[in-house]
């Protein structure tokens, strides 16, 4: 039974079927918001929601069954806990009697699309891991907005009170300017007031807009690489657990080969970084000579 469940969970068609059910559940939930459709086919929509719930319960049972005699290992993954809570919430006493709570629970089931799509799950993990770096970047951006806001208040506060009348308005104006929206218009208004408008806005765009944006991209890309590594380790842990439970020598050899391939990939990436660093150092030495 454990091998059968593990084989089903590992198959691609299983995820495709569950993804289709989640999409169908989202469509039914959206149709339920139309009063005319609810009056004409409300019973059918509620029946379909119950069918979807039954499918999700069967899916959850298969996923737990894949862990064999150690079903508690299912709850070591945060995504598995999320699935269990979202599906099990429909059976909590009082939820099915409360229309609002029941619809919120059904809406939460739609969020399980993150669990089914690995790439989307990878992006969510990357966003979570980028939060510490984004916090530091936010502090840096606030400091820049404050400094440039004070300077803007000194330069344009009297002539443009709506935009630079105080530090709050100035920082809000500069925050909108981070998107480079209406930059020519803003610069033209500033040039009519002060000759320092051009260096002020150009330096702000170069430092605050472009630099902060590039740092943000770098933080997200670095977090995405870390998320890929974590996702690979998570999958390997699940495969090792399944191989240990199945007592299959072929599974054990497959895990060894996958580990060696991963180590080889890391070694190649490290070698590429070393070669790039050596090329930059060689080019720098040539320019100095």
> Residue 94: CB partners within 8 Å, gap ≥ 6?
101
Looking at residue 236, its pLDDT comes to: 64
| Every domain of the chain and the residues it spans | 2-116, 131-247
Alpha-carbon distance 132 to 163, whole Å? Answer: 32
Query: What integer is the mean pLDDT of 273-289?
Result: 72
Alpha-carbon distance 198 to 177, whole Å? Answer: 14
CB-based contact 175:208 (threshold 8 Å): no
279 HSE (CA, 13 A, CB side): 6
Alpha-carbon distance 8 to 163, whole Å? Answer: 61
Place of tokens 């086919």: 41
170 HSE (CA, 13 A, CB side): 27
Looking at residue 253, its pLDDT comes to: 61
Report pLDDT digits (tens) over 50-86: 898 899 899 888 888 887 777 787 887 777 888 888 8
33 HSE (CA, 13 A, CB side): 8
Confidence of residue 118 (pLDDT cuts 50, 70, 90): low
**What percentage of the chain has pLDDT greater than the value 90?**
2
Report pLDDT digits (tens) over 236-265: 666 655 555 554 555 556 656 666 666 677
2-116 and 131-247: same fold?
Answer: no
Query: What integer is the mean pLDDT of 266-272?
Result: 74
Looking at residue 264, its pLDDT comes to: 75
Residues recorded for the chain: 289
Q: Is the pTM of this model over 0.85?
A: no
For domain 131-247, the CATH architecture is Orthogonal Bundle (1.10)
CATH number of this structure's domain 2-116, picked from the four choices 1.20.120.350, 1.20.990.10, 3.90.420.10, 3.20.10.10 = 1.20.120.350
């Amino acid at each position: 039974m454990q091998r059968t469940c593990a084989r089903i969970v590992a198959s691609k068609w299983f995820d495709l079927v569950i993804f289709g059910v989640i999409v169908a559940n989202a469509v039914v939930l959206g149709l339920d918001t139309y009063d005319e459709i609810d009056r004409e086919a409300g019973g059918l929509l509620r029946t379909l929601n119950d069918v979807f719930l039954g499918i999700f319960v069967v899916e959850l049972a298969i996923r737990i069954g894949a862990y064999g005699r150690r079903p508690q290992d299912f709850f070591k993954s945060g995504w598995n806990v999320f699935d269990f809570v979202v599906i099990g919430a429909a059976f909590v006493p009082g939820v099915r009697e409360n229309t609002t709570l029941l619809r919120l629970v059904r809406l939460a089931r739609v969020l399980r699309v993150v669990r089914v799509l690995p790439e989307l799950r990878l992006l969510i993990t990357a966003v979570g891991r980028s939060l510490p770096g984004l916090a530091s970047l936010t502090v840096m951006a606030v400091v820049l907005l404050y400094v440039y806001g004070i300077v803007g208040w000194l330069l344009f506060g009297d002539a443009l009170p709506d935009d630079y009348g105080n530090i709050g308005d100035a920082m809000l104006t500069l925050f909108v300017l981070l998107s480079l929206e209406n930059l020519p218009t803003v610069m033209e208004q500033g040039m009519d007031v002060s000759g320092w408008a051009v260096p002020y806005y150009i330096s702000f765009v170069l430092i605050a807009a472009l630099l902060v944006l590039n740092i943000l991209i770098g933080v997200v890309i670095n977090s995405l690489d870390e998320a890929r590594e974590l996702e690979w380790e998570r999958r390997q842990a699940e495969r090792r657990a399944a191989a240990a439970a199945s007592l299959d020598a072929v599974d054990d050899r497959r895990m060894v080969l996958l580990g060696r391939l991963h180590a080889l990939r890391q070694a190649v990436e490290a070698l590429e970084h070393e070669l790039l660093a050596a090329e930059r150092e060689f080019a720098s030495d040539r320019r100095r000579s």
